[in-house]
């Protein structure tokens, strides 16, 4: 009887200790998230309002707000420094690469996830090996291969390279995603007389939309900010994509000193990635959560 009374007296103390421990852990987690958010957001805010400053304000008063909005910085960056041309070049490469990557990876992942055949796992691990191969080791042979195929300094060559570079991770993710889809829908569609093509395009592909959107965002960010591949495969200035053009512009600033236009150019490059993420953030979270359930 005495032991039971002692346990009853100790229970509120244990409950309070556990509650305090959970509160401390949650507070530390929230503090870390807030700190990380400020670490990411504040530089972008500083970059945004600095793009409306003059060169003198950027150098002599970097932390203050602009005394007057210098909209001509963006016009100068878009036209004079050719950011508009680089932007269009990036769109010509990224959009077809993204469509081709999603089309090939979705069909491949569906077959690897839903069908059992000899060499299934070997083929899956072969794609995974592409994730382990460092891109720097392929730059020299890739340059000569593109030159021999007359794809050097062409948008088609860069599209094919972007697609090949993005396929391994996309296939890895979508294979796990397709495994989470219910098999009953597949079987019901086959019983109703649909063939495998109809099942894939009419049933499974719409269900995989969250995963496709998540991979579209990740691949878009990677392709949009890709620098090393176009640096090797695009050597003519009129074919530069945005990261190349920004690097070229940065080197020019040591002689032209048009830093306000450079800040405006960086802002122009940053806006599409932010807009895409803000619009599709819910789909990204849903796709990543579901796709991580199975591998």
Give me the helix-helix angle, 139-148 and 155-179, nearest 10°.
120
Handedness of CA 238, 239, 241, 244 (dihedral sign): negative
Question: Given 55, 72, 89, which residue is the final one in a domain?
Answer: 72
Token digits for 180? 């989470």
How confident is the model over 126-131, as a mean pLDDT?
A: 86
d(CA 221, CA 197): 31
Asked if 67 and 85 sit in the same domain, the reply is: no
Do 129 and 171 touch, CB atoms closer than 8 A?
no
Asked if 58 and 175 sit in the same domain, the reply is: no
In percent, how much of the chain has pLDDT > 90? 24
How confident is the model over 53-75, as a mean pLDDT?
A: 86
| Residue range(s) defining the domain that contains residue 148 | 81-256
Give CA torsion, residues 183, 186, 191, 195, to 10 deg. -150
In percent, how much of the chain has pLDDT > 70? 87
Token digits for 224? 């949009």
Do 69 and 132 touch, CB atoms closer than 8 A?
no
Task: Give the pLDDT of residue 295.
Answer: 45
Q: Structural domain tally of the chain?
A: 2
Q: How many CB atoms lie within 10 A of CB 277?
A: 13
pTM: 0.80
Is position 290 within any domain?
no
pLDDT per position as a tens digit, 218-242: 899 889 989 999 999 998 888 999 8
d(CA 44, CA 42): 5
Asked if 143 and 29 sit in the same domain, the reply is: no
Asked if 246 and 138 sit in the same domain, the reply is: yes
| Model confidence band, residue 246 (pLDDT cutoffs 50, 70, 90) | confident
Residue 93 has pLDDT above 90, yes or no: yes
How confident is the model over 15-43, as a mean pLDDT?
A: 82
């Amino acid at each position: 009887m005495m032991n039971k009374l002692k346990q009853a007296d100790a229970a509120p103390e244990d409950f309070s200790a556990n509650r305090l421990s959970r509160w401390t852990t949650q507070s530390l987690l929230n503090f870390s998230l807030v700190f990380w958010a400020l670490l990411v957001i504040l530089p972008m805010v500083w970059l945004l309002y600095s793009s409306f400053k003059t060169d003198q304000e950027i150098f002599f008063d970097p932390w203050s707000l602009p005394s007057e909005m210098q909209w001509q910085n963006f016009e100068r960056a878009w036209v004079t420094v050719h950011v508009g041309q680089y932007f269009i070049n990036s769109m010509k490469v990224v959009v077809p690469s993204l469509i081709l990557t999603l089309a090939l990876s979705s069909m491949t992942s569906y077959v690897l996830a839903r069908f059992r055949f000899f060499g299934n796992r070997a083929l899956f691990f072969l794609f995974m090996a592409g994730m382990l191969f460092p891109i720097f080791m392929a730059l020299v042979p890739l340059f000569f291969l593109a030159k021999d195929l007359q794809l050097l300094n062409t948008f088609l060559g860069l599209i094919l390279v972007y697609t090949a570079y993005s396929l391994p991770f996309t296939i890895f993710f979508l294979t796990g995603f397709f495994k989470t889809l219910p098999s009953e829908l597949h079987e019901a569609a086959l019983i109703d007389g649909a063939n495998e093509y109809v099942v894939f395009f009419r049933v499974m592909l719409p269900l995989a939309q969250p995963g496709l959107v998540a991979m579209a965002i990740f691949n878009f960010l990677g392709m949009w900010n890709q620098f090393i591949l176009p640096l090797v495969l695009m050597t003519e200035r009129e074919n530069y994509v945005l990261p190349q053009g920004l690097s070229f512009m940065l080197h020019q600033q040591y002689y032209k000193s048009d830093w306000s236009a450079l800040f405006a150019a960086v802002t122009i490059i940053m806006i599409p990635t932010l807009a895409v993420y803000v619009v599709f953030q819910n789909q990204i979270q849903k796709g990543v959560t579901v796709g991580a359930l199975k591998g």
